[in-house]
Amino acid sequence: MSASTAAPPLASQAKPASAGDRMEPRRVIAFLAMVFGMFMAILDIQIVSASLSEIQAGLSASSDEIPWVQTAYLIAEVIMIPLSGVLARILSTRVLFAMSAAGFTLASALAATATNIEQMIVYRALQGFIGGGMIPSVFAAAFTIFPPSKRNIVSPMIGLVATLAPTIGPTIGGYLSHAFSWHWLFLVNVIPGIIVTALTWTLIDFDRPEPGLLKKFDWSGLASMAVFLGTLEYVLEEGNNKDWFQDEHIVIGTVVMVIGAVVFFWRAFRVELPVVDLRAFANRNFAIGSLFSFVMGIGLYGLTYLYPLYLARIRGYDSLMIGETMFVSGLSMFVMAPIAGRMASALDPRVMMLIGFAGFGAGTWMVTGLTADWDFYELLWPQILRGTCLMMLMVPINNIALGTLPPERMKNASGLYNLTRNLGGAVGLAVVNTLLTIRTDEHHLRLAEKLDWSNPAALDWLASVGANYDAHGLDGASVALGKLAGVVSQQATVMAFSDVFLLLTALFIGLSLMTVMVKRPAGQKVGGDAH
């Protein structure tokens, strides 16, 4: 179907239409296809992270090379997400989304055929860059084609997808890599990707392209943004592993990042058509909503990282066992989504955010008593609180950030809004990793100080354990010392996890108190309708 026949004669920007027009079946089906495309793009981050060891073995990659399977995807995605706003205006939502879905599907198929780590990194970068164009388009479409009265139905849907996908990723990834092979982490995208591409190309008719804007496109701004965001993601991803500024590559990356940032922001405020229009932040609700989205990214991606790390490092779980343990959060989100939509119709969004952040803080507080023996049942209620509170937060934050913007700002603002969540996740993971390293070293030092040769309890333990191994003809003293060192390392790591959960508790409780400073979105009332 040609572009001319697929899109009705609309204005160059999406214009408001009647509620009945906006809810026609064609647009609803198109929107659902877009939501599923976004689900695939977000899921692909965590579905692969849970099975990196299998990919490493399959490609004979080194431990230094394999993290780039994730880093390449994240760097490419974080560049595309803000760029998608201006591309959607130039190409139209229909062309951008269908091309993104098709390209993501092709890159997924190519990743499954990779025979070495270099090919995999290239294909993952293509996946991240092309797939990143699907994510903001869904948010923009939700707040453009549906009337305010329907947003308490639509917002939980996209909120569920945005939070559920990274949460259940380890479960799906663990199952696929165990039941089949790591290739199916990518092949699973092919058939759904073809369906999404066909549906969106055929049904999307939200807007018309503006090819004339290409003449005004800021190529220098694009280059500087790519340098700025790409090096920022690299520094945050690799900084802790490389001991931050003790590593030459991190220092160089930081310098390049600062230069790219200066050029990018200078261009953003000087050119007629900036690659990212930062004027959306002049809207107070959008700025506050983006701040909350940034912090929510810390909670979403930080905890999705912390729980599996604890289960793997302390409990010795494999990817499938981790996925089965983490599934509780995803189930909680799924159950909570329709409830959150109803609550949004009855409660002030500030009250929902207050409850959500407070519940999130309560969930992390419960984990501050972590020990090396915790498993599914001890983590059950913290995960239930995490899942339910994430859904309670997504709906009001989406509505506050995007609910009062005019349609012509929506595409650009959606890219910025999604970027804040991704950057929050990147910053959160960098901070979490750094705190874990620092606090583990600190606790290890303190514990080791207590276990010297003047400690009678330690000496008795060594003698008892050593005697058992001596009886089996082994060097009992050496084995006992090794086991004691292992216990100290394990306990230091567990104590570091507790410290990180305590800091996250303070963060979310502080944010729950900040919600009293937020103004109710202008033009909205409890019940979800707008005047």
Distances, alpha carbon 265 to alpha carbons 213, 274, 337, 413, in Å: 20, 10, 37, 16
329: burial class by Cβ within 10 Å (0-12, 13-18, 19+)? buried
Does residue 524 sit in helix, strand or coil? strand
Nearest to 230 by CA among 129, 136, 160, 307: 129
Does residue 530 sit in helix, strand or coil? strand
pLDDT in tens, 472-524: 666 667 777 777 777 888 889 999 999 999 999 998 888 888 877 776 654 44
Query: What is the reported pLDDT for 523?
Result: 47
Low-confidence ranges of the chain (pLDDT < 70): 1-23, 50, 64, 151-152, 452-454, 461, 465, 468-476, 519-531
Indicate the residue type of 384: I
Cβ-defined contacts of 253-259 (< 8 Å, 24+): 256/227, 256/231, 257/227, 257/228, 257/231, 257/232, 259/227
478: burial class by Cβ within 10 Å (0-12, 13-18, 19+)? exposed
pTM of model > 0.85: no
Q: Look-up: residue for tokens 């899109």? A: 7
Would you say 196 and 38 are in contact if contact means Cβ atoms under 8 Å apart? Answer: no
Query: What is the reported pLDDT for 194?
Result: 94
pLDDT in tens, 171-195: 787 778 777 888 888 888 899 999 9
Query: What is the reported pLDDT for 529?
Result: 41
Task: Estimate to the nearest angstrom the gap between the alpha carbon of 420 and the chain centroid.
Answer: 10
Nearest to 363 by CA among 386, 379, 344, 347: 386
Query: What is the reported pLDDT for 1?
Result: 38
